[in-house]
Structure 1
Amino acid sequence: MSADVVLLLEGTYPYVRGGVSSWVHQIIQGMPHLTFHLVFVGGDPEFYGEQKYELPDNVVGLDTHYIMDESYTKARASKGNASAYDKWKRFETYFHDTQEAVPTELLREMFSLLGDDSGIPVQDFMHSKEGWRALVKSYRTYCPDFPFTDFFWAYRNLYLPLLKSAIIARSLPKARLYHSISTGYAGFLGAGANALHGTPLLISEHGIYTKERKIDLAQANWIAGDDQLVEEGLAVNMGYIRRMWIRFFEQLGLSGYHAAAKITALYAGNQRRQLKDGADAQKTLVVPNGINIERYSDALASRGKEIPKVAGLVGRVVSIKDIKTFIRALRHACGTDPQIKGLIIGPYDEDPGYYEECRQLVDTLGLADKVTFMGMQNVAEILPQLGVMVLTSISEAQPLVLLEGMAAGVPFVATDVGSCREIAEGMTDADQQLGQAGTVVPIASPQKTADAIVELLNDQDKWHAMQHAGLARVKAIYDEKMMYESYKQLYSEVMAWPE
């Protein structure tokens, strides 16, 4: 079935809860005049469960794909298509030298050939003579001093998802617009589909995908061979396989940027990063998140005169949210003011191991009567109970929870990540004149976080000044009506883009 918009969703909506998924759900609901077809792209199916969202009525289809699923058909030896592999070898060079995006014509050819029986089927890529020759040539050209077995598995893990992406691209429903909510695999899928079908592509980034993957790879302990290389003096900071993955993701991002008609960022800092990573300045623009301010009017009205001695963290219980720093901060805060309590509001089923570590930390620090894990809640109903919203994440883009708290009259303490400083202090001169809506603290700083919590909860003048500034800022800049209007204009503009 055709749709106005095909949304390309990597690892998010509708199977994973979080800020990006909430935003996608919000956009769909806010555009009832358009129809949407969802294309979910995940890694391994074992990491995803049931749908977490009830799809709005204007969603006309949902396709679910797993590009790292290893349930292949039975292996069979074959010769392979020599002509197709000649094109493959040229295509692969762009993943080793990421100065330029894959040219549109080559991308069109490869998305026609990859995973296709007349080109390079998945089984051919894995088992054919030409596929083997291409792999060996790549090894000898790019990585001759590295253990072949490690290169072999890296090569397969890098490129097999591209074959599956091409298969998906050829099967996409007809649409007036492809909208990818990241670069990465989804953005590259959008670039390939744009090359194949001529349908214009819009990319919206919350975090910067390429930057986040680089951070993941710098911390990864699953990439073999680095220790050996360091011992032999062949690498200083990271092994070749790690750099190979980084260049791979750089090319996914660059090709997505190249194909997109427009590219949005949530705030100016991320827009600057997009430009640094190869986006065309003429294509980029900032569209901040927006929230339904009226939804929090009851929460604001129901606040009592007293400031609750309650610090709340709203978010998933996962390591990137650094819940442990929040717990440690509460230990310091409670030591200064024993009346302070903490609430952790959000799902804890995504990473059960980390959740258990957090619970054990609460017990170890003697906070069992001070800290409560509340699980999923209606945030609007919880906000009147909070005296301060706390965010201790090590990575964010533009956290919706801070905006929601501001709309409900709750000042915040947040780490200096993403746009948190802009939200606290303002973006423009006029915005900054509104005042400070929150306190920004360094990452992984329990003591400074605790000091900020204690100060806010015990300084009524400062608390009320921040509440006033937050209410003014969220109404002036972060109203969802402005976000909807921006995307309505963008959709109209990009849909009119010449094929």
Structure 2
Amino acid sequence: MTVLIHKNKPADVTLLLEGTYPYVHGGVSSWVNQMICGLSHYTFSLVFIGSNPSQYGEMKYKIPDNVVHLEVHYLMEMKKDINSSKERKGHKGNAEAFQKIAQLHKGFREKKFPSAKALAGMLKVLGADKGGVSHEDFLYSEEAWEYILDSYKEFSTDPSFIDYFWTIRTMHAPIFVLDKIARNVPDSQFLHTISTGYAGFLGALISLKHNRKLLISEHGIYTKERKIDLFQADWITDHPDIFAGGGINSDIGYLRQLWVHFFEGLGRVAYESAESIISLYEGNRLRQLDGGADIKKTAVIPNGIQVERFLAARESRSTDIPMVVGLVGRVVSIKDIKTFIRAMHAVCSRIPEAEGWIVGPDSEDEDYANECKSLAVNMGLGDKIRFLGMQNVVEIFPQLGVNVLTSISEALPLVLLEGYASGVPAVATDVGACRELIFGSSQEDKLLGASGEVVPIANPDITAEAIIGLLTNSERWHKCQAVGIERVETFYREKMLFDEYNNIYQRMLEK
């Protein structure tokens, strides 16, 4: 653990941040920074957890003055410390404690989740040196060996016990690290996690150990995003015959399924432990219910932006439609930059003066970024596609004719709202809340009309047609522009977001 800020002041809120603010640019990090600054009458303690330091560089944000504590944990680094801190000694282990863990796993498998009281009893055994299961117990005890062996014999369809054994070890190692963090976390009035996953599970542990209320705000649905990652992961060993006869949702390898169920289980624990569960739009609220969230705990609070920040950008626009197509976002695979590049090939063949600007950091996945740059050159777009890196979007948006998102997963992207406030129509894939942002959410919102086009994922031809349709039809473009401006000014102002969360924070403090 590294403590970077500690002001010896009590915090109202502990924010639990997994792989995001303040070390990563992006929509979630921008939202966290927006919330801390906008709710400046509260003090915040930040607990950042990441995998290992090599994946993160310097902080990308200036920490606001109302942050009184910031500590940083890298799960893989702490795992190494634990593995090397004690001499390896075999011992019996606590059979009763392992039985409680077995009951929790059984509930995950059978979709029969334990009651809050039973869950608390099961979680209490984690990390406990006496009467529980410590990390050393998990690694070296006879009970752990027997439990893993019995589980393999009863449930595993993968032929390799070695792969199964190390999967279980690797999967559960961070749990004991999180338990250690939970035991020593600084004091605050309540907890606010910005995802489920490891951060959500940490919130559940802190809530149990320190009797603090837990609030969950999910942008994307963590379990859904991990499924995408896991289906693509090449570090998971699959038996060669596993994929015969079906798609990835039904016939994935057993070890891959095990990882999926693990993250689903973490999500269930977080939902069960939470006081309130917030999503950005109705589609994600329904996914939360599918993931085990209690409907009485759930609510929808959409993102909001400071519209006034973009008024100068809107006013500085030319009356002509710029033949520049922009994608504002990180250069990572989930944003599907390659589909944007392929779409721009078709756009430029029809509109020779068109350009494609990719505006966002390319350091998060350098291999993917290099592949995208090579693709642009190989398609003859070396002078048409510009990788601009991080830029001030207030200066970029007035130069764009269309604001494009080709992502394969999104929540409620702020970049579309910022584009609307700057007077830029949108073309976006049919993911997350993009359809609601373009065609409207409520009945009142839908009556405004369309502020752009929705396209299928990974379809450069249809994406190109949507872009061309806007750039070459001035009447339609200006109609979409006007709708976007009215939509963001009516339904997505920053003050609405702050008012909603201020009310929730006050309720959490009262409880």
Interval containing the TM-score (normalised by the shorter chain): over 0.9
Q: Do 2:244 and 2:251's aligned partners in 1 also have CA atoms closer than 8 Å?
A: no
Describe the shift of the 1:93–1:159 C-alpha distance in structure 2 as closer, same or farther (beyond 3 A).
farther
Letter in 2 for 1:6: T
Q: For each residue in 1:297-350, what CA deviation from the matched residue of structure 2 results, as whole angstroms up to 9, or x when unmatched? A: 110111111111110110001111111111111110111010111111000001
> Helix, strand or coil: the match of 1:300?
helix
Q: Which residue of 1 aligns with 2:417?
A: 403
Q: Which residue of 1 aligns with 2:257?
A: 243
Q: For each residue in 1:271-316, what CA deviation from the matched residue of structure 2 results, as whole angstroms up to 9, or x when unmatched? A: 1111122111111111000111011011011111111111011000
> How many angstroms apart in 2 are the aligned matches of 1:288 and 1:468?
21
> How many angstroms apart in 1 are the aligned matches of 2:177 and 2:142?
20
Q: Do 2:127 and 2:176's aligned partners in 1 also have CA atoms closer than 8 Å?
A: yes
Q: Do 1:115 and 1:163's aligned partners in 2 also have CA atoms closer than 8 Å?
A: yes
Q: For each residue in 1:34-71, what CA deviation from the matched residue of structure 2 results, as whole angstroms up to 9, or x when unmatched? A: 01111112123322222111111111111212223341
Describe the shift of the 1:192–1:417 C-alpha distance in structure 2 as closer, same or farther (beyond 3 A).
same
> How many angstroms apart in 2 are the aligned matches of 1:114 and 1:64?
22
Q: What is the TM-score normalised by the length of structure 1? A: 0.95
Q: Which residue of 2 aligns with 1:104?
A: 116
Q: Which residue of 1 aligns with 2:5?
A: none
1:149 aligns with 2:157: no
1:269 aligns with 2:283: yes
> How many angstroms apart in 2 are the aligned matches of 1:449 and 1:495?
47
- After superposition, residues 234-383 of structure 1 pair within 5 angstroms as 237-383=251-397
1:459 aligns with 2:496: no
Q: For each residue in 1:101-136, what CA deviation from the matched residue of structure 2 results, as whole angstroms up to 9, or x when unmatched? A: x54345444544433433433233212233323322
> How many angstroms apart in 1 are the aligned matches of 2:115 and 2:17?
24
Describe the shift of the 1:487–1:349 C-alpha distance in structure 2 as closer, same or farther (beyond 3 A).
same
> How many angstroms apart in 2 are the aligned matches of 1:230 and 1:365?
33
> How many angstroms apart in 1 are the aligned matches of 2:105 and 2:73?
24
> How many angstroms apart in 1 are the aligned matches of 2:52 and 2:116?
29
> How many angstroms apart in 1 are the aligned matches of 2:306 and 2:451?
18
> How many angstroms apart in 2 are the aligned matches of 1:239 and 1:281?
32
> How many angstroms apart in 2 are the aligned matches of 1:229 and 1:369?
45
1:224 aligns with 2:237: yes
Q: Do 1:107 and 1:195's aligned partners in 2 also have CA atoms closer than 8 Å?
A: no
Query: How many angstroms does 1:450 deviate by?
Result: 1.2
Q: Do 1:6 and 1:36's aligned partners in 2 also have CA atoms closer than 8 Å?
A: yes
Choose the corresponding residue for 1:193, options 201, 206, 213.
206
1:475 aligns with 2:489: yes
1:18 aligns with 2:59: no
Q: Do 1:7 and 1:37's aligned partners in 2 also have CA atoms closer than 8 Å?
A: yes
Q: For each residue in 1:75-94, what CA deviation from the matched residue of structure 2 results, as whole angstroms up to 9, or x when unmatched? A: 41131542433433334433
> How many angstroms apart in 2 are the aligned matches of 1:163 and 1:482?
39
Choose the corresponding residue for 1:132, options 126, 141, 145.
145
> How many angstroms apart in 2 are the aligned matches of 1:36 and 1:339?
49
Q: For each residue in 1:154-180, what CA deviation from the matched residue of structure 2 results, as whole angstroms up to 9, or x when unmatched? A: 111221111111111111222111111
Query: How many angstroms does 1:460 deviate by?
Result: 1.1
Q: Do 2:271 and 2:293's aligned partners in 1 also have CA atoms closer than 8 Å?
A: yes
Q: Do 1:267 and 1:286's aligned partners in 2 also have CA atoms closer than 8 Å?
A: yes
Q: Which residue of 2 aligns with 1:5?
A: 13
Describe the shift of the 1:165–1:98 C-alpha distance in structure 2 as closer, same or farther (beyond 3 A).
farther
Q: Which residue of 2 aligns with 1:67?
A: 75
Query: How many angstroms does 1:32 deviate by?
Result: 0.6
Q: What is the TM-score normalised by the length of structure 2? A: 0.92
Q: Do 1:226 and 1:238's aligned partners in 2 also have CA atoms closer than 8 Å?
A: no
Q: Which residue of 1 aligns with 2:4?
A: none
Unaligned 5+ residue runs, structure 2?
Answer: 1-7
Which deviates more from structure 2 when the two are superposed, residues 77-86 or residues 284-293? 77-86
Describe the shift of the 1:120–1:422 C-alpha distance in structure 2 as closer, same or farther (beyond 3 A).
same
> How many angstroms apart in 2 are the aligned matches of 1:140 and 1:342?
55
Describe the shift of the 1:29–1:232 C-alpha distance in structure 2 as closer, same or farther (beyond 3 A).
closer
Q: Which residue of 2 aligns with 1:77?
A: 89
> How many angstroms apart in 1 are the aligned matches of 2:505 and 2:92?
42
Unaligned 5+ residue runs, structure 1?
Answer: none
Query: How many angstroms does 1:201 deviate by?
Result: 0.7
> How many angstroms apart in 1 are the aligned matches of 2:182 and 2:103?
21
Question: Identity percentage over the alignment?
Answer: 51
The number of aligned residues is 495
> How many angstroms apart in 2 are the aligned matches of 1:230 and 1:10?
32
Choose the corresponding residue for 2:463, options 437, 445, 449.
449
Q: Which residue of 2 aligns with 1:114?
A: 126
> Helix, strand or coil: the match of 1:394?
coil
Q: Do 1:94 and 1:251's aligned partners in 2 also have CA atoms closer than 8 Å?
A: no
RMSD: 2.0
Letter in 2 for 1:369: D
Q: Do 2:193 and 2:200's aligned partners in 1 also have CA atoms closer than 8 Å?
A: yes
> Helix, strand or coil: the match of 2:441?
coil
Q: Which residue of 1 aligns with 2:63?
A: 55
Which deviates more from structure 2 when the two are superposed, residues 213-222 or residues 468-477? 213-222
Letter in 1 for 2:140: H
> How many angstroms apart in 2 are the aligned matches of 1:237 and 1:246?
13
